[in-house]
Amino acid sequence: MRRTKTIYSSFFVLHFSIFLLFSIGVKGQINTDHMMMVGRNALYFKDFVLSIQYFNQVINAKPYLYEPYFFRGLAKFYLDDFGGAESDCTQAIDRNPFVADCYQVRALSRMRQGNFDGAISDPENEGIWHNMALCYGHTERFDEAIGVLDTLHHIAPKYTPALTIRAQVNIQRRDTVAAYADIAESMKVDKYNSAAYSMRATLYMQQERYAEAEEDLTYAIHLMPSSNDYINRALARYHQQNLRGAMSDYDIAIDMDANSFLGHYNRGLLRAQVGDNNRAIEDFDFVISREPDNTIAVFNRALLRMQTGDYEGAEADFTAVLTEYPKFLYGYECRAEVRDRLGKRKLAEEDRIVLLKAQLASWGGGDTRQDDDEEDEGEESDVRRKSDRNVKKYKRLVIADDDLALEGNEYASEYRGKVQNRNIHVEMLPLYVATCYERSSGLPRSIAYHHDLDALNRNGGLPRPLIVTASESPLTEEQIAFHFADINEQTRLIAQSAAGDGEEDGIASTTPQTAVHWFARGLDFYLVQDLISAIADYSSAIAADGSLWVAYFNRAVARYKQAQIEGRNDDAQEFMGGAGAADNTSVGTGYTSYQLCLADLGKVIDLAPDFAYAWYNRANIHAMMHDYNAAIADYNEVIAMNPSFAEAYYNRGLARLFLGQNEQGTRDLSKAGELGLYGAYNLIKRFGE
């Protein structure tokens, strides 16, 4: 018994010393290597605000290092603080001018601020060639952009963005033959490059080959569903008189991007055409809320309000339009009708006098131009540019202003650092964890519940209630401060337990309540991305109370994440591929850690066999180890317990595809899509070929 207590006491000493790393803030006294490691962990898992706090501490202690400036700059870049990112990268370059990634992030930051000349001035590598071409394109230096892209294509012939950007530049130069050639070559290199099909559809639209454009956009949507492609396909369908199909595409586009201007505006026009006036008004309300000075949208809403009997609202809208366009005669005609219905006879007559004077002037040979933005007689297009404010074109669908004539095909969409999102990664969906915060996905999800977790929450020993989620949310500054403070509080409670509560030897016994304090502090460490300390605290919780299965569950997740960290390439280029992107660590680098994860999850299943998330996590670990048959067996158990577990269908589908069981795998992916994981449809299409 004495030996057990001594070992347990040593756990306390170890963890208290680890905690001191966070408590000591005096310059030079912190463990900067540990801080850098935890800061990079936070950056890797997209906890950008938290990572900045760690890098600040390293900079305060050792301001001569370049790495904390670079990684802090990268975190700021992902937070859209482009000025701060540029400044930090400059600081990093001043300390070490031989790291290419510092120049690349600085160039990206300058581009996002519109400083394209400044971005061009940075040294060259493959990423800088890419960015330089974008800068030349933005500044309409097309010949120089083509030269850079030719060089990039020579350096990296399999790098398809070079071809699609070159096609884009050729479209801007009106060289459609060269653009078609670039697109065709891009498709040969990567037939799953959705951007190439979207761009070819652009050319077809310009040539009024709407059926072919629709076909390409349909295929692009199968490869990579995007709001822009749905909007563009809606336009192609509209030109083919397929109003129902166009309306459906606008609905989907807005579901995917609720802030789509073109989606709301054009859907409003189509709803008005089919008499769905109230919902059309909702769309124009949205447009006007975003652009209060969009007079054409105000005029369309005025017409709809008149149709629905909202005469006061219609009069206000017509008045706003006529204030902007005092020679728009149709506006006076409409307002006169509305004023008649409101009983404002005198005001209605004033509007009609304006119309009469205009008519008399035309008969007398006077100036017949009654609209400041008179429409050309020969113009027969049924679309208008977004910047075209000719109110007489109020019935026309809107397209983007760029020469590509479609939404979304702008140079900015090709920024390096976003490119990886253009292809669906074939990877398992992430593990579940018991934590305090969840990122909203916008999709309905069942609430994860287990009676043991509910009892633990009601016990009051945890600082925040536990939830089980696979969609973890980065911490806010307030949450970060709370959990650092709670590390201090839980350490105090652990120390109090170690004092023995009056025991003569001064060493605490291993009690369930003590285990909760160890678990709570482990969760705090986990949330601030100190995985090593979290694992140690979870182990202490298990030593104090072997029945606390949630500690096994979370220790497995922490060990899995630590295996990811240890298995990644230890350089900044990985972060440039997308901080936080899921990385299936190879079996070789993570095999031992994965075995420990399996042991922990097996213990959870022994203690709580009805906890489906333990089976799901164990299935994921089996899949990471390429043991797909074992993974499928565990996914089967999950689905038997919860037939609506979408992620289990998705991952089981992938496991079956990896085993060559395409039919069964496709069925699972279809079910996952039916349950709300729409990315499954992309995989069905790709594996179907």
Q: Which of 301-310, 562-571, 582-591 has the lowest mean pLDDT?
A: 582-591
The pair of structure tokens assigned to 425 is 């990664």
Residues 6+ apart with CB under 8 A from 50: 42, 474, 475, 480, 528, 529
Q: Contact 535/562 with Cβ under 8 angstroms?
A: yes
pLDDT over threshold 80, residue 468:
yes
Q: Which residue has the higher pLDDT, 681 or 594?
A: 594
- CB-facing half-sphere around the CA of 316: CA atoms within 13 A: 4
Q: Which of 134-138, 325-329, 583-587, 645-649 has the lowest mean pLDDT?
A: 583-587
E strands present in 350-435: 383-385, 397-399, 433-435
Q: Report, in angstroms and rounded to the nearest whole number, the Rg of the chain calculated over CA atoms.
A: 31
Q: What integer is the mean pLDDT of 427-443?
A: 81
Run of H or E residues at 488: helix 477-498
Distance of CA 274 to the CA centre of its chain: 34
Predicted local distance difference test score (pLDDT) of residue 126: 56
Task: Determine what percent of the chain is predicted with pLDDT higher than 90.
Answer: 34
Closest CA to 287 of 272, 301, 277, 302: 301
Give residue-wise pLDDT tens across range 146-158: 777 777 677 677 7
DSSP secondary structure letters along 32-80? HHHHHHHHHHHHHTT-HHHHHHHHHHHHHH-TT-SHHHHHHHHHHHHTT
Question: Could you tell me the domains of the chain?
Answer: 31-120 (1.25.40.10), 449-626 (1.25.40.10)
Question: 468 - beta bridge partners?
Answer: 434
Predicted local distance difference test score (pLDDT) of residue 524: 93
What is the largest distance, in Å, between two alpha-carbon atoms of the chain?
114
Of 285-289, 499-503, 613-617, which has the strongest mean pLDDT? 613-617
What is the C-alpha separation between 352 and 350, in angstroms, rounded? Answer: 5
Give residue-wise pLDDT tens across range 438-455: 876 544 456 677 888 888
Give residue-wise pLDDT tens across range 74-86: 988 888 888 889 9
The pair of structure tokens assigned to 163 is 């071809």
Predicted local distance difference test score (pLDDT) of residue 596: 94
Question: 399 - beta bridge partners?
Answer: 385
pLDDT over threshold 50, residue 496:
yes
Give residue-wise pLDDT tens across range 320-369: 999 988 888 999 999 999 999 999 999 999 989 988 888 887 775 555 44
Q: Contact 512/534 with Cβ under 8 angstroms?
A: no
Give residue-wise pLDDT tens across range 275-297: 899 999 999 999 999 888 888 99
Mean pLDDT value across the chain: 79
Q: Is 369 exposed, middle or buried (0-12, 13-18, 19+ CB in 10 A)?
A: exposed
The pair of structure tokens assigned to 637 is 């158990």
pLDDT over threshold 80, residue 16:
no
Q: What integer is the mean pLDDT of 597-607?
A: 96
Q: What integer is the mean pLDDT of 616-626?
A: 94
State the residue for tokens 């009609």.
Answer: 352
State the residue for tokens 């060990």.
Answer: 559
In 309-444, where does DSSP find H-type helix?
A: 311-324, 329-341, 345-363
Distance of CA 315 to the CA centre of its chain: 42
Q: Which residue has the higher pLDDT, 16 or 254?
A: 254
Of 219-228, 441-450, 484-493, 502-511, which has the strongest mean pLDDT? 484-493
Q: What integer is the mean pLDDT of 649-668?
A: 91
Predicted local distance difference test score (pLDDT) of residue 186: 83
pLDDT over threshold 80, residue 476:
yes
Predicted local distance difference test score (pLDDT) of residue 402: 54
Confidence of residue 557 (pLDDT cuts 50, 70, 90): very high
Give residue-wise pLDDT tens across range 368-423: 444 444 444 334 567 777 777 788 888 888 777 554 433 334 433 333 333 223 33
Predicted local distance difference test score (pLDDT) of residue 677: 80
